[in-house]
Chains A and B, each alone.
Chain A
Amino acid sequence: MQRIGVFVCWCGSNIAATVDVQQVADELAKEPGVVYSTNYQYMCSQSGQQMIQEAIKEHHLTGIVICSCSPRMHEATFRKTAAAAGLNSYMVEIANIREQCSWIHKNKEEATEKAIILGRAAIAKVHLNAPLTAGESPVVKRALVIGGGIAGIQTALDIADAGFEVDIVEKKPTIGGKMAQIDKTFPTLDCAACILTPKMVDVAQNEKIHIYSYSEVESVKGFVGNFTATIKKKARYVKEDVCTGCGLCTEKCPMKKVPNEFNQMLDNRTAIYIPFAQAVPKVATIDPNACMMLKNGKCGVCSKVCTAGAIDYTQKDEYIEQQYGAIVVATGFNTIKLDNFDEFAYSQSPDVVTSLEFERLMNAAGPTGGTLLRPSDHTHPHTLVFVQCVGSRDISGCGKPYCSKICCMYTAKHAMLCREKYPDTEVYVFYIDVRTPGKNFDEFYRRAVEEYGVHYIKGMVGKVAPKDGKLMVQASDLLANDQLLIEADMVVLATAIEPDESARSIATMLTASMDTNDFFTEAHPKLRPVESPTAGIFLSGVCQGPKDIPETVSQASAAAAKVIGLLVKDKLTCNPCVAESNELMCNGCSACEKVCPYGAITYSDKEFRTPYRTTIMRRVASVNPAVCQGCGACTVACPSGAMDLKGFSTRQIMAEVDAICK
């Protein structure tokens, strides 16, 4: 028989205002096995914990029940308290009488009754609890960063700085991501390349960092501290270690009409290409969809002109298996497709561009060499209309329901740069709300209006119609309660951003959760913003939610700090509440193996004794406790009842149900 102690917490007035804590303690004292019952204002406080420890020693308690807040909040606290008093941590049960009782009820009498029932269920469970000991698993001291944009770069640099090995896997031929495409950065207007490319060089030169460019993560197995990832290194048909990046092949390649992704398809590149001058690694890549040699075996110019002999048309995809202790997701974003927004005439006129395209048009390394020219006829535009919230804050199903966060600031930047470079232009910005929280952000926007004379108009553009080489923009001016018709030369759409299309498959691979917009979910929206609820998976940058460069960099460093905190540990304590198979009951059906999301269950043939001194061989399941996460899927799937979860056995759960229904 267990000797059980019950501790009812008031949580200040959080519980005590709705639940009669004294009555709960008195009623629970009458339960079988309860030898001590009390209540206290703050059980989690130091004096509360001391009270528990003293009671454990004084009354020789073998199990305790804390009636308090959710176990998510303080289960770990009370387990430590018990362990310090010599009681096994897993002899502690929490009855959640705050989130599941006092906070959601108003009637004190009913809430008190419910609190007693919840306490009774916990007592019934403690009766069947057995001491459990947590095992340990080693930590591989190497991190994987998926995505080589500014988020991935910063995370990798910070982890490497602490002395750990980091691998960056980037699916494009170069690291740098979206920031490499951007012209200037708000609110200081320093050039993006000038601040990004030194960081890219740092990554390339850092001995602790290895870049897998033009590569993708193919599969991930394992668990925190011990992941095994398979990385697919796509064939780039150029020997990475031989190519000097001289660029001669890109000059001589006869296939010159391939749309250039780096310039948002605004100009063309060759079939063998280096995305941009400061690419890291600065190695050429052959686009297999455009190369004549790879498509029909006729050409071979690049291999003839390459003095280093780096071209290899026979290269195959390569698979690399590597072990990691932690994984950081930094998969970033893309602008949405504008197929649902015909009213802005994006597909009808080349002079209607997205903001990212506009970045390239303003960029000195862009298709126009930094001179703002209309894509249609390469003339200088005089009237520009910027449309905000294109596809953002849209619940009609055409766009995205969230605010893309960065558009207000970059539109102010674009408008300002336009007026600064070309004072002869008229610049209109149509906005719904101008959202500029951030250090020096609102000042920046006001400067665009006050110093640069950008016309900010509250209202939305309803229609853009190409007419005689111009764009007729019909829009509302809500403050004047008027409808305007502007003859514009260019229209720039502040297109909503969405997570990269690879994010969902990566989330599935990592068993990391996502929200309905495919942004990765954080473990806690306020207090654990850079961790995924899946242990060992960390989040960096826009993959978690829209954010600008300063925020991305802060979050990237925060994720790195969390990774370092994990990698410095030599061993991790495992969760002892894992599944266990009863070999005598197991019928070898494999149902559990199929449902296990972690691959923790294996089958083997075992010899069993049978009557009359004979033996038989039977196929039975066994669980690898280091891999099992204790989700319980197998216990539900098992038809013979052989699978059980330690600490949450079928008997314990049924005892709780019986106690509730009593």
Chain B
Amino acid sequence: MEKNEKELAQLIQEISGLNPKKCMKCGKCSGACPAFHEMEYHPHQFVDMVDRGDVNRLLESKSIWMCLTCFACVERCPRDVKPANFIEAARLALIRQQGCNHLKDEAVPPLLDEEMPQQAIVSAYRKFKK
């Protein structure tokens, strides 16, 4: 069953188990993020977009796949909002949608980016192939 945008945002919140309302918009996450310049939407925006239920743009964006899950933002967030957990939840929400978005073998080579750590590609492949 297709979920509407609000329901998707709700799902992301549920998967993450976190409350985006706790965010005080200090931007420390984006200040700490090593992949900031690779992203169209940045960690502080993820939190805000999930909070406002504006998640379609986010799920379509490459940004969520650019997060290395290094947890710099989780470690430094003073409000316990943990942006990386939202990003992970967004990925899960996407792949949990039945019949779509699973990573296919042939889709991997075009995604390869020389600057992307190999480990990230391997773990993404393991995770999202099924």
Contacts and interface: CB of A to CB of B under 8 A. Distances in A.
Given A474-B32, A483-B37, A460 B27 contact: yes
A476 B30 contact: yes
A395 B26 CA distance: 13
Nearest to B73: A462
B22 interface: yes
A477 B37 CA distance: 13
Contacts of A462: 28-33, 72, 76
Contact of A395 (B31, B76, B79): B79
B42 A481 contact: yes
Given A432-B24, A459-B26, A483-B37, 6 more contacts: A397-B80, A459-B31, A460-B26, A461-B31, A463-B31, A476-B31
Contacts of A217: none
B78 A476 contact: no
Contacts, number: 73
A393 interface: yes
Contact of B78 (A395, A477, A481): A395
Interface string B50-85: 000000000000000000000010011111100000
Contacts of A460: 26-28, 31
Chain B interface size, as a band, is: 20 to 34
8 contacts: A393-B79, A395-B22, A460-B27, A463-B72, A476-B42, A477-B27, A481-B45, A483-B42
A478 interface: yes
Closest 7 CB pairs of A and B: A462-B31, A462-B32, A460-B28, A476-B27, A476-B31, A476-B30, A394-B78
A486 to B, nearest CB: 11
Nearest to B45: A481
Residue of A399, A476, A478 most packed against chain B (CB within 10 A): A476
Given A462-B30, A462-B33, A463-B31, A478 B25 contact: yes
B125 interface: no
A343 interface: yes
Contacts of B30: 459, 462, 476, 478, 483
A483 B36 CA distance: 7
Contacts of B36: 476, 483
Contacts of A364: none
Contacts of A393: 24, 26, 78-79
B27 A459 contact: yes
A389 B22 CA distance: 16
Interface string A437-462: 00000000000000000000011111
Contacts of B26: 389, 393, 432, 459-460
Interface in A467-507: 474-478, 481, 483
A463 B25 contact: no
Nearest to B42: A481
A396 B79 CA distance: 6
A421 B67 CA distance: 44
A394 B29 CA distance: 14
A396 B80 contact: yes
A398 interface: yes
Nearest to A463: B32
B28 A461 contact: yes
Interface of B: 22, 24-33, 36-37, 42, 44-45, 72, 75-80
Contacts of A432: 24-27
Contacts of B28: 460-462, 476
Contact of B44 (A343, A396, A399, A476): A476
Nearest to A475: B31
Contacts of A399: 78
A476 B79 CA distance: 17
A458 B30 CA distance: 12
Contacts of B29: 462, 476
Nearest to A390: B78
A448 B99 CA distance: 58
Contacts of B77: 396
Nearest to B28: A460
B31 A396 contact: no
A238 B24 CA distance: 53
A234 B40 CA distance: 63
A397 B45 CA distance: 24
A530 B73 CA distance: 41
A343 B33 contact: no
A395 B79 CA distance: 5
B27 A398 contact: no
A460 B31 CA distance: 6
A476 B27 CA distance: 6
B78 A389 contact: yes
A458 B27 contact: yes
Contacts of A396: 77-80
A395 B19 CA distance: 13
Contacts of A483: 30-31, 33, 36-37, 42
Q: Most chain-B Cβ atoms within 10 A of its Cβ — which of A395, A459, A475, A483? A: A483
A630 to B, nearest CB: 43
B35 to A, nearest CB: 10
Contacts of B75: 343
Given A389-B26, A483-B36, A474 B79 contact: no
A394 B76 CA distance: 10
Interface in A395-416: 395-399
Contacts of A476: 27-31, 36, 42, 44
Nearest to A389: B26
Contacts of A398: 78
B124 to A, nearest CB: 23
B77 to A, nearest CB: 6
A395 B21 CA distance: 13
Nearest to A473: B31
Nearest to B32: A462
Nearest to B74: A396
A395 B24 CA distance: 11
A476 B26 CA distance: 9
Contacts of A397: 80
B76 A478 contact: no
A463 B32 CA distance: 6
Contacts of A459: 26-27, 30-31
Contacts of A458: 27
B29 to A, nearest CB: 7
A478 B48 CA distance: 12
B86 to A, nearest CB: 16
Interface string A343-365: 10000000000000000000000
A483 B77 CA distance: 16
A288 to B, nearest CB: 40
A385 to B, nearest CB: 12
A60 to B, nearest CB: 62
Nearest to B41: A481
